[in-house]
Amino acid sequence: MPSIVKPLIPLATLPRNDLGLTPRNYEGAMSTLCAGCGHDSVTAALMQALFELSIPPYKVAKLSGIGCSSKTTAYFAGEAHGFNSVHGRMPTIATGAIAANRELHYVGVSGDGDSLSIGLGHLAHAVRRNIRMLYVIDNNGVYGLTKGQFSASADIGSTSKKGEANAFAPIDPLMLALSIGATFVARGFSGDKERLVPILKAGLSHRGLALVDVISPCVQFNDHEGSTKSYLFVREHEVSATDFVEPRETIVAHVPDQGVLAVPMHDGSQMHFRAVPAGYDPTDRAAAMHYLQDRHAQGEVVTGLVYADEGVPDLHELSGTPEGPLAAVPFDRLCPGADELARLQDSFR
Amino acid sequence: MKPTDIHDPGYYHQVVDCQWACPAHTNVPEYIRLIAQGRFDDAYLVNRESNVFPAILGRTCDRPCEPACRRERIDGAPVAICRLKRVAADLRGDVSDRLPRAPEQQNGKRIACIGAGPASLTVANDLLPLGYAVTMFEQHNVGGGLMRTNIPAFRLPAAVLDEETQIILDMGVDIRYDTPINSMRAVLDEGFDAVFVGSGAPRGKELNLPGRWDEVGDSHIHIGIDWLQSIAFGHIESIGKQVLIIGVGNTAMDCCRSSRRLGGKDITVIARRPRGFFKASPWELEDAEEEQVEILVNHAPTRFVVEDGRLTGVEFDILEWDEGARHSTTVGAVTLPCSDVILAIGQENAFPWIEKDLGVEFGEWDVPVVDETTMESTLPGVFFGGDSAFGPKNIIWAVEHAHQAAMSIHQHCQGLPVAKRAPFGMNLLSTKMGLSQWSYANDYNPASRQKMDHVELTKRFAQLDVEVELGFSVEQTVREVQRCLNCDVQTAFEAPLCIECDACIDVCPVDCLTITANEDEPGLKLKAPRTNADQGLYISDPLPQTGRVMVKDENVCVHCGLCAERCPTAAWDMQKFDLIVPYAGRSLPIVAVTSNGARK
Ligand SMILES: Cc1cc2nc3c(=O)[nH]c(=O)nc-3n(C[C@H](O)[C@H](O)[C@H](O)COP(=O)(O)OP(=O)(O)OC[C@H]3O[C@@H](n4cnc5c(N)ncnc54)[C@H](O)[C@@H]3O)c2cc1C
Ligand SMILES: Cc1ncc(C[n+]2csc(CCOP(=O)(O)OP(=O)(O)O)c2C)c(N)n1
Ligand code: SF4
Ligand code: SF4
Ligand code: SF4
Ligand SMILES: [Mg+2]
C-alpha cells in the first residue's frame, strides 16, 4: 500500500481528449494490490483506452466479482457507476444492468478464479446472450486474494510457489467462449500495453460481448520459475495470432497491403487486422480454435485479437427492447397497470 | 543512446536544479528540510559552508536558484528559497562554537587581500582555518564592500552585515582600515606569498551629454553608486522633490527607493527599453513600484537642461522599438522637469593602482585577464575575484570566485599547480526506512508560494534604515518548506532487478518514466514528450527480460517516491544525494554509493 495518494500535479502539458479531459480524469482510488501486480497495469490500460475513446467516465458502469482482479474496478474511472458483486456473479449482475440501461459502456473485470471456477456458468450464459460489454479476465493462474491456490486456468505441470505441480487440465476462456458462440475473443498481456490498449478499445467498440483474457502475472504467488503465467514465461512464449491497428483511426496508409483485413465495426469504425501467421483469418471461428489448440500444444501463449464477428446482434437487438434505456421509459408504459396484466395473462391461456 | 553514468556526480547534481544554478552550489533542499525540522542552527551552517553569508544573502541574494527551481515548472512559482535562507539565519541560536577557527599554529604563509568586500572576506574565511596569515587592506574605515556602502539599510540592516562580516574578521584577519592601496608594486614588494584582489568594480558610469557640466555650485546630477555610498556614510541626508533616475537596473531601484526616504516626492525611473527588458530583478521592481515610484519606458536622455546655472530638467527622445527591442526609432522628444538626476547606468572596473609593467595583463574595458577556473591573473600568485575579476556581478558570485581563488592560493603556496583541482564527489544514501517509509516527506503539497509581508508604507519611510521585509511568519515558513520537492532525493535505478511489470510507469504522477526500445533521440518513444532539453535524460542498462531500457526524463519528477514504493523488486530506490564540493585544504572527497535494497 503506497504511503501517499498519487498526487495531482497541475502540469499544463497533460494531453487532453475530445472531451477536454486528461488521463488523470480517468483515475480512481489508489490501488491496494501488491506492488508489481499485473492487474494494476491492466487498470492503467483500461484508463488509457477509455481516455483515448473519449468516453465520459459518468457513462461507464464497472462491474466485478471477488478477487484481487475484481478489486481493480475501484482503481479507475472514479466518477463511473460500479457494482462489486459476489464471487463469480459479475456476468449476472451485468446482464441485469445492461437490460435496464443499454446506454452505458459496461466494463466487467473478473479473475480466472472468479470467472472459470465459481462463475463459469454465469460467464458462459453471458457469452451466449452476447450482452454488450467489455469482459476482462485478469488471468494469473492462481487465486491471488486467497494466497495463491491454483486456479482453473493453471497449466498441467506448472508449479506453485512451493514447487507443487498442477495435475488438472486448464480451461482456456477463449476456447470455451468460441465454442459457445462468442463474437469477440482476444488475449493480451499486462506487460505489453502497446498491444493491450488497442484490443481494449476494439472491445469497447464491439457490438456484443467482447471477452479479453489478459495474462496478468501475480507477482506475489505466481511469478516464479515453473509458472506459465510469469512475466518471463509469457515474454519467452508469446505468439501473436494477429496484430492490428486500432479502430477509429484512419491510419490505413500505414498498414501493409499484404495480409490486411478490414472488419467494419457496428459503430461505423473499422478494425484493421494484420494477420501475423500466413493465412490467419480472425473471422473464421473453426480456424481460430484450431490455431489456439495447436499453439497451446506447443507450449505457446497466443495473444492478439483471435476472433471477431460484428454480424451478430446483441441481447437488446435480439429481444427487440426499446431504443432507450428502460430506466427512461415513462412509468405508465413500463407498468401499464392491472388491466394490461390481465389481458396479457389471458393471451397465454 | 548510451546508458547514463550515475557515478558521475554531475548527473545528479544537475537534477538538483537550485544547487546546480547556485554559483556556490548551496545545498538548498537539505537546509529546507532542516528548517522544516526546526533545526535552524544546522540549516544556517549548511548554508554557511557554501555561501558564507546566509543572513546577508537571505535578504539580498540575486537568487539564480529561484528561476531554476523545479517547483516553477510544476505550479508556476519557485520555492521562496531566499526567504527561507533568511528564516534559518534569523531563527538560529548561538552557533559560534561550530564555526571554523584558525589554528593556534600558523602555517607561515602570508596572504594580502585588497578590499574588504564579500570576495576578500570569503578568501579569509577559507584560508584562516588552514593557518594562513591574512592581511586585508580597505580604503574605508569599515568592511563589507558594496554590501555596506551601496545596498541600502532598508534592505540589509547594518547589524546583520556587521555580525556576518565580524565572524570572519574575528577569526584573526589583520585588517587595515583607511588604507587605500595606491600601488600594487608596493604590495608585491612586501613579500606576500599570494595577493588576492577583491577591490570590486568601483566606478559608476558617466553620462556625458550636453549640459552635464554646466551647473554652477552644488551639482544635482549624481552618480548612483557614489550617491548611495554618501548616504551610507551619512554625508547625504536629503534630496529635491522631483527626482529622475536614469537606468533601470538594481542600482536604480536602490536609488529611487532611497530618494523616496530622503524627501523625494515625485520620483521617476527612466528606461530606454520596454518592460520585459529591464535589468532589475522582478522582485526589486515590484518593491519599488509598491513605493509609488513611477517607471517611464522608451525614453533616452539627450540633454541636461540647466538654466541660470541650475538644473531644471532633462530632455529625452521618445523611442519606438521593434519586437525583441533591438532597434529603435525616435518618434518624439520631451523635457521632464526635475530637481535632481541620479545616473544608474552601470559600473566599471578601474585599476589605476596596478602598474602596467608588473605582468598583470588587462584586456578590454580595463578588465584584468583572469582564468575562469583558477581566478589567477597572468602574474602567478596574484588572484582576482568578485566584481574585480570580470566586472560587476553579485555577492554570491563574489563568494564563489573567492572559494576558487582560495583553493588556488592554497595550491600555489604549497608549490602545486593551481590548475590541478579537486573533483566534485558525492554520497548517495538510501532514504528507505521500511515498506513505503522514507526518511523525507515524500508527499506533494499543493501549497502556493507564500508572499513576504512588508512594513506598512506609512511606517517604512520614517527612518532610512527601517527594514522593509518582515521575514516569514511561522505559518508561512511551515507552508513554504512543504513546497520543496526534495530534488536531492534521487531516483536510483538498478536495471538487473527490473522485471518490466510497468508498475512504476503507471504510478508516476508526471509520466516521466518509459520502458522502450533504445533509440537515439528523436526516435526514442517517451510516454510524455520531452519538453526541456536542458534537463537530464536517464537511460538505463538493457533490461534483463526484453533488452529494452528504462528511460527517465528528469524535467518534472516531483521526487514523490511512488515509483520506488510500487516497484516489487526495489529496482528503484530513493537515495539522498550529497554533493561533495571541494574547498581549499579539504581532503579529496570520498565517493560512497549505496545499492538498492536487499533483493539483489
Ligand atoms: C546599488 C547596488 C546594489 C546591489 N545590490 C545587490 C544585491 O542586492 N545583491 C547582490 O548579490 N549584489 C548586489 N550588488 C552587487 C554586489 O554588491 C557586488 O557584486 C559585491 O559586493 C562584489 O563584491 P566584491 O567583494 O567583489 O567587491 P566590493 O563589494 O565592491 O568590495 C570591494 C572593497 O574593496 C575596497 N577597495 C576598492 N579599491 C581599493 C583599494 N585600491 N584599496 C583598498 N581598498 C579598496 C572597497 O572600498 C570595497 O570595500 C549591488 C551593487 C550595487 C552597486
Ligand atoms: C462464495 C465465495 N467463495 C470463496 C471465496 C474466497 N475467494 C476469494 S477470492 C477467491 C479467488 C479469486 O481468484 P481470482 O478471481 O483469480 O482473482 P485474483 O485474486 O487471482 O485476481 C476466492 C476463492 C469467496 N470470497 N466467496
Ligand atoms: S496477491 Fe497476486 S494478484 Fe493479488 S495483488 Fe498481489 S500480486 Fe496481484
Ligand atoms: S519519484 Fe518516481 S514516481 Fe515520483 S515523479 Fe519521480 S519518477 Fe515519477
Ligand atoms: S516497478 Fe520495478 S520491476 Fe516494475 S517496471 Fe518499474 S522498475 Fe521494473
Ligand atoms: Mg487469479
- The mean pLDDT value for B479-501 works out to 98
According to DSSP, the β-strands at A184-189 and A301-308 are antiparallel
Residue whose Cα lies nearest atom 11 of ligand 2: it is A143
Residues B252 and B285 in one domain: yes
Mean pLDDT of B462-473: 93
Q: What is the ipTM of this complex?
A: 0.91
Task: List, in sequence order, every beta strand (DSSP E) within B517-566.
Answer: 537-539, 549-553
Q: Are residues B170 and B187 in the same domain?
A: yes
Tell the residue nearest (CA) to atom 5 of ligand 3.
A33
The predicted model gives B258-280 an average pLDDT of 95
Question: Do residues B47 and B85 make contact, with C-beta atoms less than 8 angstroms apart?
Answer: yes
Q: Write the CATH number for B120.
A: 3.50.50.60
User: What does the pLDDT read at residue A251?
Assistant: 35
**What number of H helices and E strands is found in chain A?**
12, 13
The A-side interface with B (CB below 8 A) comprises: 1-4, 6-11, 13, 34-38, 40-41, 43-44, 190-191, 193, 217, 219, 223, 231-232, 235
Same domain? B323 vs B222: yes
Give pLDDT tens digits for B547-577: 999 999 999 999 999 999 999 999 999 999 9
Beta bridge partners of B75: none
**Strand ranges in B247-356 using DSSP code E only, listed in sequence order:** 266-270, 294-296, 299-307, 310-321, 328-337, 340-343, 347-348
Q: How far is the C-alpha of A344 from the C-alpha of B10, rounded, in Å?
A: 84
* Mean pLDDT taken over chain A: 91
Lowest-pLDDT range of A80-94, A237-251, B78-92, B102-116: A237-251
Average pLDDT over residues A201-224: 96
List the one residue out of A108, A78, A304 whose CA is nearest residue A192: A304
Query: Do B237 and B133 fall within a single domain?
Result: no
pLDDT of residue A260: 57
List chain B residues with CB under 8 Å of A221. none
CA of B567 to the centre of ligand 3 (A): 13
What total of structural domains would you count in chain B? 2
Q: For B376-422, give the DSSP string.
A: B-SSTTEEE-THHHHSS--HHHHHHHHHHHHHHHHHHHTT--TT--P
pLDDT band for position A267 (cuts 50, 70, 90): confident
Q: Cell 538654466 belongs to which residue?
A: B307
User: Which pLDDT score, from 0 to 100, does residue A250 have?
Assistant: 40
What are B213-245's pLDDT values in tens digits?
998 888 999 999 999 999 999 999 999 999 999
By C-alpha distance, which of B23, B26, B75 is closest to B485? B75
B531: nearest CB among A13, A40, A217: A13
The number of the ligand nearest the C-alpha atom of A85 reads: 2
Which chain A residues have a beta carbon less than 8 Å from that of B449? none
Cell of B178: 583607511
In the predicted structure, residue B261 carries a pLDDT above the cut 90 = yes
For residue B560, being part of any structural domain is answered with no
- Give me the pLDDT at residue A48, please: 97
| B133: closest CA of chain A, how far (Å) | 54
Share of chain B above pLDDT 70, in %: 98
State the closest ligand 4 atom to the C-alpha of B562, by its place in the atom list counted from 1: 3
Q: What is the mean pLDDT of chain B?
A: 95
Q: Which of B551, B552, B574, B550 is nearest to B562 (CA)?
A: B574
In a domain, B549, yes or no: no
Q: Which stretch of A316-320, B329-333, B437-441, B460-464 has the lowest confidence by average pLDDT?
A: B460-464
Query: Given this model, what pLDDT does residue A256 score?
Result: 43
The CA distances from residue B310 to B210, B219, B259, B314, in Å, are: 14, 8, 20, 12
Residue-number span of the structural domain to which A257 is assigned: 23-347
Residues B136 and B193 in one domain: yes
pLDDT computed for residue B167 by the predictor = 97
Reduced to 3 states (helix: H, G, I; strand: E, B; else coil), residue B141 is coil
Tens of pLDDT along B359-405? Answer: 999 998 778 999 999 999 999 999 999 999 999 999 999 999 999 99
- Which residue shows C-alpha cell 518548506? B481
Count CA atoms within 13 Å of residue B249 on its CB side. Answer: 15
What integer pLDDT is reported at residue B21 of this predicted model? 98
Note whether B387 and B118 are within 8 A (CB): no
Taken in order B241, B246, B248, B253, the sign of the CA dihedral is negative
Whether the per-residue pLDDT at A305 is higher than 80: the answer is yes
| B255 found inside a domain | yes
Whether residue A26 has pLDDT greater than 60: yes
Q: Which of B431, B437, B502, B599 to mutate to test the interface with A (most CBs of A within 10 A)?
A: B502
For residue B108, tell me if it sits in a domain. yes
Q: Tell me which chain B residue has its CA closest to the CA of residue A217.
A: B501
Domain, as residue range, for B393: 100-201+349-413
**Cα-to-centroid distance, B201 and ligand 1 (Å):** 7
As a whole number of angstroms, the distance between CA A224 and CA A159 comes to: 9
**Does residue B105 form part of some domain?**
yes
Give the Å distances, CA to CA, from B574 to A338, B274, B431, B443, B553: 70, 46, 6, 13, 16
Residue A118 lies in a domain: yes
The reported pLDDT for the residue numbered A253 is: 33
Cell of B169: 574578521
Average pLDDT rounded to a whole number, residues B3-28: 96
Which range, of A71-80, A288-297, B147-156, averages the lowest pLDDT? A288-297
pLDDT of A273 reads 64
Do both B210 and B334 map to the same domain? yes
Of A120, A315, A107, the closest CA to residue A200 belongs to A107
Q: What is the pLDDT of residue B587?
A: 60
pLDDT band at A272 (very low <50, low <70, confident <90, very high): low
B197 is a domain residue: yes
Per-residue three-class SS string for B302-324: EEEEEECCEEEEEEEEEEEECCC
State whether B212 and B302 are in the same domain.
yes
State yes or no: pLDDT of A36 exceeds 80.
Answer: yes
B548: Cβ contacts below 8 Å, ≥ 6 apart: B500, B515, B516, B517, B518, B542
| Chain B residues in contact with A191 (beta carbon < 8 A) | 500-502
Q: Is residue A62 part of a domain?
A: yes
Find the CATH number of the domain harbouring A113.
3.40.50.970
Instruction: Tally the domains of chain A.
Output: 1
Position A252 pLDDT exceeds 50: no
Cβ within 8 Å of residue A267, ≥6 positions away: A205, A207
Instruction: Tell me the whole-structure pTM to 2 decimals.
Output: 0.92
pLDDT category at B37 given cuts 50, 70, 90 is: very high
Q: CB within 8 A of B1, min separation 6: which ones?
A: B518, B519, B520, B521, B524, B537, B539
Residue B510 CA to residue B131 CA, distance in Å, equals: 51
For residue A248, name the pLDDT band (cuts at 50, 70, 90).
low
Look at residue B111 and give its three-state secondary structure: strand
- The pair phi, psi for residue B398, each rounded to 5°, is -60, -40
Q: How many residues does chain A have?
A: 349
Residue A342, phi then psi, degrees to nearest 5: -65, -40
Q: What is the mean pLDDT of residues A147-153?
A: 97
Q: Of A7, A35, A217, which is closest to B444 when you measure between CB atoms?
A: A7
Contacts with A36 from chain B: Cβ below 8 Å: 499, 501, 503, 566-569
B218 and B336 inside one domain: yes
Work out the average pLDDT over A286-297.
Answer: 93
Ligand 1 binding pocket (C-beta < 6 A) is: B 60-62, 114-120, 137-140, 145-147, 150-151, 180-181, 198-200, 202, 225, 228, 250-251, 254, 353, 386-388, 392-396, 398
Chain B residues within 8 Å of chain A (Cβ atoms): 74-75, 436-438, 442-444, 446, 499-503, 505-507, 509-510, 528-529, 531, 545-546, 556, 558, 560-562, 565-569
Residue percentage of chain A with pLDDT more than 70: 92
